[in-house]
A = this chain, B = another copy of it.
């Protein structure tokens, strides 16, 4: 059984039977594309993972209702306005988005999912949104994966797409995806917005369990600023166009899981690498933890520490901040067994600081800045000496540009 998925272009349109589009509707002041549509010709099984924030945006409430039957045909998305903290009118606006999309595509509104991203606390400019939906329906195309990925961006500097094909005993299946960051990104979520497609045929309960498990290992291991958004939404549609049916505990399920994991890992790394103001992708690996949950807790504390993040921005091997963050995370650790390696430079062994060349360590950090190779990252490896569990979390550094972007966002 081969579980090595092969990367593909095309994003959400890589799997057969999906089309997509992205159009400018004037919701973003910049005039850039801001309405995206993903649709499938066949009724698809659908699964979703949503923010754990107790302040929940209106489109999430509508999405959850429409997902109750585990079926969907389309996803309508706008950027530039989050439709969160918008009260009863916000809920009516989110429903109207699904109703208009459904009527134009000849669908039941219950089969249309909806998501929004952008500024919180402002109502949607519905006239523009409706014109955008009409244009997006006209533009639907099997080559629309990249246009759709462009249209869901907010402060992202580039679109984020991934897709892969994997073999199963019944034939190949494909998984495609797109997502957007790039601030208000923290775990307990399904990133701000991410949309996945597959042409496998999967019943909704299995699709949901696959999606939840993969989200836990990928999107929920990304943090840019520790802020869990009100709008985080991860959706997966499975339309069965490949002719391959995936049953629980089958080789095909393992293959689909591998493809989902590969696509979601690629998107998650891109989220962190394009975090607001980021100059580098940072991978925090914690080993020797008492449990996987403690490993992730320690990795997240390190990844969210402003002191660690600013030191990484400054190419400063100020490693005490890394152990300090592990220490306050609440994860068990044995001080005499702590180990720390930064970008391949050993800094602590058996809890004792090692002599090291600060200039060389700084140069190793600097070399990870704006890497041309998306696979490249500043690697932080911490061993807690308390057990055998491990976890990896992706984040980025904290730069002047993070402050600039977020001090000047609405006014």
- Chain A positions within 8 Å of B, measured between CB atoms, are 51-56, 82, 84-88, 119-123, 183-184, 186, 188, 225-230, 304-307, 310-311, 313-321, 323-328, 330-333, 335, 338, 347-348, 351-353, 358, 362, 398-400, 402-411
Contact = CB atoms under 8 A, between A and B. Distances in A.
Contact of A319 (B52, B121, B304, B320): B121
B408 A316 contact: yes
B307 A184 contact: yes
Given A51-B328, A229-B324, 12 more contacts: A54-B330, A55-B335, A85-B353, A86-B353, A88-B352, A226-B226, A226-B304, A306-B306, A314-B411, A318-B409, A358-B410, A399-B403
Contacts of A184: 307, 321, 324
Given A305-B227, A406-B314, A323 B85 contact: yes
B406 A310 contact: yes
Interface of A is mostly: loop
A288 to B, nearest CB: 14
B351 A87 contact: yes
Nearest to A183: B307
Contact of A407 (B56, B311, B406): B311
A322 B314 CA distance: 29
Nearest to A306: B225
Given A321-B227, A327-B54, A398-B403, A409 B316 contact: yes
A324 B53 contact: yes
Contacts of A326: 54-55
Contacts of A327: 53-56, 228, 230
Contacts of A405: 310
A13 B153 CA distance: 58
B407 A310 contact: yes
A306 B85 contact: no
Nearest to A361: B411
A320 B82 contact: yes
Contact of A411 (B122, B316, B323): B316
5 contacts: A52-B328, A119-B318, A184-B321, A225-B305, A358-B410
A330 B402 CA distance: 26
A125 B196 CA distance: 57
Contacts of A328: 51-55, 186, 188, 227-228
Nearest to A324: B230
A313 B333 CA distance: 37
Contacts of A316: 407-411
B403 A403 contact: yes
A121 B411 contact: no
Nearest to A298: B54
Contacts of A317: 410-411
Given A316-B411, A323-B85, A333 B400 contact: no
A202 B340 CA distance: 45
A207 to B, nearest CB: 27
A411 B320 contact: no
Contact of A406 (B84, B188, B311, B338): B311
